[in-house]
Structure 1
Amino acid sequence: MARRRAGVADLRGSRFLNNAVANDPDELRAALTREARALGFDCVGIAAPDSIADAAKHFRTFLETGAHGDMDWLAANAERRIDPRALWPDVRSVILLGVNYGPDRDPLAILQQQSKGAISVYAQGDDYHDSIKKHLKTLGRWLVAAAPCEIKVFVDTAPVMEKPLAQAAGLGWQGKHTNLVSREYGSWLFLGVIFTTLELPRDGAASDHCGSCRACLEICPTAAFPAAYQLDARRCISYLTIENKGPVPHEFRKAIGNRIYGCDDCLAVCPWNKFAQAGHEAKLASRAELRAPDLAELSRLDDAAFRALFAKSPVKRIGRDRFIRNVLIAIGNSGDRALARDAERLLADASPLVRGAAVWALAQLIEPEPFAALALRAFAVERAESVVAEWTAAERTGRA
């Protein structure tokens, strides 16, 4: 995002508002939009805090069916999440801000390079939580100085339903893949939220423009959408590679391919993306080393090397062991027998999660006889039940 100093002098400089403007809600809104765009936000909208009652009903159904998987934090904060006033009773307006992070290349092309790892577009650069929150705070300070009020700022991690609020604020609509879609920026918007005690003019809610298109539903490798506008997170590759702390369920391993952190398929095929390209490279650019990293090199990361490679990246939050688990699933799907030696080396890893994934990867890459010899040695020394189960399953079903 655009960078500039945000000290007191900035807030009281040439863009500081006179009292007449600050006391006119429409003028204040226009000034807020100008300030937000100067800070690098691509779109701004304002919603009422009571504008997402329908979304609340859908969210409750999502939880009741267990589609949130192990994300217990969603259920724990459900009531605060479905109504901004439950989170902060004093909120009078909700300001939604979007940053276009549309990629400058086809994010699905890497899926054909099976010895490389596919990292979701949003995670190829610095953590957007940090960069966007910094600018939200700057904008919030400007607003407090311009028209005395109280504010709270949020980026994704708080119990706030950003996407329904963004639709209510006119930034876009929740598409059939349940992500926000914008007519200007496609499916590539990071969202930030400011709660304020100010009464600001509201924007009209965005209408749905998905029409009869089902591209996002049909491309999903794991059939994570039981119906349009419904997601079963337990089947979603983003959930399986990021939120899931244990072994990846066998039924999804082949479908994951070489996706080692997240999945862009349903976003990337959205027809509205044709409008999303301009301006990305100047804001949240990806790092070259994370666009198409070698699986072999990634498999050799110890904890220190993992932390160094993914410094400032959201990938770091899942930890080295879960990440190497993902890399091993990709190695097993690569069809590259040269990678078998990397998987075999990780049979001795300290983490049972890693060792179990290494068993599966080897079962996909080497012949039954050498695999059986490895299994025989493993059964004599392996004590982790989860890893023994992987060896047993692989021997029982062959290349499971």
Structure 2
Amino acid sequence: MTVRTALAAILLALALPGTSLAISAREFATDAGLVAGAAGNPRLGGTLLPPGLETEGPADAYTFQFAQLTPAMEDETPAPQQQPYDGPVDEAYGAYQRGMFDAAYEAAMARAGRGDPRAETLIAELVERKLIAQGRAGEPGAWYRMAADSEAPFAVNRYGMYLLSSDDEAERESGRELVSQAAEAGDPLAAFNHATLLVQENPGAEGLELALPWFEQAAQADVADAQYALSQIYRALEDLPEEKRDLWRYWLRRAANGEHDTAQLELALDLINGTDMPRDIPEGVEWMHRAALNGNPAAASRLAYLFLHGIGTIEDRQSAAVFYLSARRVGLESEEMEKLLQSLSPESLAWATLRSRAIARRY
């Protein structure tokens, strides 16, 4: 794999129009555990790439290679260990996670009056995402700036991210400096953001070398985007120490366990095809299922194929229709799957259509 391909695989920083960095729809800036894969081109697993760095699409609709059986091989990659969370429970953020935005806003406002930067950042997030009216809470930038005045690294990073989305060049430069400052102070999300900016600003191997320590820092702190990026870098760059290159599977699994849908899709394909790891089709199907339910339409399209043919799972035409219909909503179509839909009874098709809407809402 070339440096160009590696760059294309890890440039998560360009996933949203109008911003310089990737922010998942499930990310809240004060909690690294919520970072997940960014939405994008479903044919390429969900990651948008900058102009000129797009990889070629798969030769077939599913990139399965069942005929190419690989010899058995041992995988000595250490199993990812999940650390249980035993920290304090945040009432405002808990309400935010459950979609209770008014309750989250009220709880955060009570704490913001006491100068709590996490509460102030949460209010800014609610307004910026139009979950709370700006007329009710005020301009998000003011809340981000107030939180950053505390000098808490997470708040400094989030204010920097906000400024990076500005149309004003001076504000973007200030945002870049704040992200760098927060990364130096040890904030894991800032480390990831700083790394992606370094890759963006320094094309080629130089950018990867500059960014690698920051990706590693963020990955160690359980930022799933960084873990996925690290798996791509370790897998791609041949001049890295062998002990690092051997860990690409470990980081891919860490990202997948962290609910990074693109990592889950890639792990599923590697397991199903037996690519650089022992072939395990049933486990691959499980990861494909998780990726599809996490909102990855490419995984949903492939899962439909697996259900239709009973590969690694029971043959289930109804489930195949559900997942295909969800993927078709973003343009992933297949002649074979269209024939499946035509063969269903009106009642079965109506049921599958209803179920597919719930999955498609996650895209």
Normalised TM-score (structure 2): 0.30
Structure showing greater radius of gyration is: 1
Say which structure, 1 or 2, has more relative contact order (CA 8 Å, 6+ apart): 1
